[in-house]
Amino acid sequence: MTIDVLLTGFEPFAGAAGNESWAAVSRAAPRLRQRGARVAEVELPVEFGRAGDLLEQAVREHRPQLVIALGLAAGRSAITPERVALNVRDARIPDNAGASPVDEPVVEGGPVGYFTGLPIKAMVSALDAERIPGSVSQTAGTYVCNDVFYRLQHLLASDEALAGIRGGFVHVPSADVVDAATAAEALVAMVDAAQGTVVDLARSGGAEH
């Protein structure tokens, strides 16, 4: 089946009861459906390798036009569309299967990094318009979120059958910073912005460090 949007979030990790990324996806998907969009959502395991395998499977199955993968970044103070995925795994804490890779590539022989395929400046502008805190992030880290982000960009860049699919990654902060209802509203606004933007805005999303 061909769909418009594939959204993914993660299961809980590091002993938490829930994961804000999945809370946002599971609340936003029915709202997008209500407005006529064809949406698929997948909850990914916090496991190096397997999470990317499942995302790849979902992209091949659904052939969406747009893929937005979400993850939790506790400690951040805004919703942060990610600029770049890196070809490295470096776990500070074990993943949910107990794996702690250090300085391993996500994809052996793959390029050092990929830029997002999402119009992240337009997405941040859309968050501004909703008065939801948002900013561009320059790195998705080196844990499972970056793993999934890199796998997604590598897949979309290397398989011609998937040409034209736009995808990328967004970190959401913990619920005490942005609550679940607001994170879902933010996700709907970011989907709208991504669908409505062909050439990204030339506004600054830079940082000195």
Cite the active site residues: 82, 145, 171
Q: Give yes or no for residue 144 binding ligand PCA (CB under 6 A).
A: yes
Q: Does 71 bind ligand PCA (CB under 6 A)?
A: yes
What is the rounded CA–CA span in Å between residue 145 and residue 94?
A: 13
Least gap, CB of 119 to ligand PCA (angstroms): 22
Residue among 23 and 66 whose Cβ is closer to ligand PCA: 23
**Segment lying near ligand PCA (by CB under 6 A), choices 70-78, 151-159, 160-168, 186-194:** 70-78
Q: Work out the widest C-alpha separation in the chain, in whole angstroms.
A: 44
Under the criterion CB under 6 A, does residue 80 sit at the interface with ligand PCA? no
Residue type, 19: N
* In contact, 196 and 97? CB cutoff 8 Å: no
Q: Pick from 42, 66, 73, 118: which binds ligand PCA (CB under 6 A)?
A: 73
Of these, 7, 8, 13, 28, which contacts ligand PCA (CB under 6 A)? 13
19 sits near ligand PCA (criterion: CB under 6 A): yes
The site that binds ligand PCA (CB under 6 A) totals a number of residues, namely 12
Long-range contacts from 99-108, C-beta under 8 angstroms, 24+ separation: 99/47, 99/48, 99/49, 101/48, 106/52, 106/146, 106/147, 106/150, 106/151, 106/154, 107/150, 107/151, 107/154
Which CB, 70 or 122, lies closer to ligand PCA?
70
Q: Which stretch binds ligand PCA (CB under 6 A): 57-65, 68-76, 81-89, 118-126?
A: 68-76
Q: Please, are residues 205 and 125 in contact by the beta-carbon 8 Å criterion?
A: no
Q: Counting contacts by CB under 6 A, is residue 169 touching ligand PCA?
A: no
Helix boundaries (H) for the chain: 20-34, 50-62, 120-129, 144-158, 180-196
209 class by beta-carbon count within 10 Å (0-12 exposed, 13-18 middle, 19+ buried):
exposed
**Integer CA distances (angstroms), 59 to 2, 31, 106, 129, in order:** 10, 21, 18, 30
Which is nearer to ligand PCA, 114 or 143 (by Cβ)?
A: 143
| Nearest distance, CB of residue 146 and ligand PCA, angstroms | 6
- Residues in contact with ligand PCA by CB under 6 A are 10, 13, 19, 21, 46, 71-73, 141, 143-145
